[in-house]
């Protein structure tokens, strides 16, 4: 027997588990508990891990309902995901508000550059998708203009810019709410040759 991830109740339970696991990860990063307490908590976590592992569900396939549940950027059931919550403004493109947390740390107090790249990669790719194109990231160019702080609201936006054949381009940025740009990205997204092409 396996759970039905399309059920609202199960979906909500998975999201709650992932959210609590993010809290745990932040606590692991910051704990000042003594060695005995660390060992005791590690044992409890080992037991919890075994409980979850005892009932595994089959992996979701591309395009199935809830197929992004485990996505590293937007998968709300993935404790590693910020998670990015993508908005679709009526004017076009995509947008996401984000407060990065300790588990996204690069330099102390600041967001890891790879995490910023992951978020923008996903948003640029989604902007290409919103424009009606299907593309996987072929290249992503980052420009880090100022550090992204942890624990502070930032706004990520992206938009599709153009296409030539199977190639599409998009650009995006992470900025402070006052518009100060911290990170910029441009990306090339290619419709894989193995996908049926439009006439
Ligand atoms: C599909 C493709 C990128 C290209 O393969 P094919 O179709 O076999 O390409 P083909 O060889 O037929 O060349 C066609 C044209 O393209 C050009 N060109 C090719 N490559 C590059 C390049 N690297 N850089 C620059 N140009 C390149 C090539 O020169 C040629 O140009 P031409 O026509 O002569 O002027 C393949 O390499 C692949 O699967 N890579 C892994 C992708 C992947 O895993 N990405 C991460 C997962 S997605 C994600 O996480 C984010 C996301 C979230 C949400 C939504 C969306 C995204």
Q: What is the pLDDT of residues 48-68, one digit of tens each?
A: 999 999 999 888 888 888 889
Segment (H or E) for 25: helix 8-30
59 CA to middle of ligand 1, Å?
A: 25
Class of 94-190 in CATH: alpha beta
Is the model's pLDDT at 199 over the cut of 80? Answer: no
Residue whose Cα lies nearest atom 40 of ligand 1: it is 138
Q: Cα(139)–Cα(121) distance, rounded to whole angstroms?
A: 9
How much is the pLDDT for 60? 84
- In the chain, what are the domain boundaries? 1-69, 94-190
Q: What's the pTM value of the predicted model, to 2 decimals?
A: 0.94
Percent of residues, the chain, with pLDDT higher than 70 = 97
194 CA to middle of ligand 1, Å?
A: 11
Is the model's pLDDT at 146 over the cut of 80? Answer: yes
Residues whose beta carbon lies within 6 Å of some atom of ligand 1 = 121-122, 125-126, 129, 135-139, 166-167, 188, 190, 192-193
Distance of CA 13 to the CA centre of its chain: 19
């Amino acid at each position: 027997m396996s759970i039905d991830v399309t059920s609202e109740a199960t979906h909500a339970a998975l999201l709650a588990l992932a959210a609590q696991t993010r809290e745990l990860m932040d606590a692991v990063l910051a704990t000042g508990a003594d060695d005995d307490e660390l060992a005791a908590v590690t044992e409890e976590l080992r037991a919890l891990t075994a409980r979850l592992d005892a009932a595994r569900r089959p992996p979701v396939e591309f395009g199935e309902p809830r197929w992004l549940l485990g996505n590293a950027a937007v998968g709300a059931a993935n404790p590693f995901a910020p998670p990015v919550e993508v908005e679709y403004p009526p004017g076009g493109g995509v947008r996401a508000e984000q407060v990065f947390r300790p588990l996204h740390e690069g330099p102390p107090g600041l967001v890891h550059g790879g995490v910023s790249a992951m978020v923008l990669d996903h948003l640029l790719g989604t902007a290409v998708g919103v424009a009606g194109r299907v593309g996987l990231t072929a290249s992503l160019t980052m420009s880090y203009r100022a550090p992204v702080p942890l624990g502070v609201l930032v706004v990520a936006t992206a938009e599709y810019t153009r296409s030539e054949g199977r190639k599409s381009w998009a650009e995006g940025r992470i900025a402070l709410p006052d518009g100060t740009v911290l990170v910029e990205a441009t990306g090339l997204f290619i419709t894989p040759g193995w996908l049926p092409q439009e006439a």
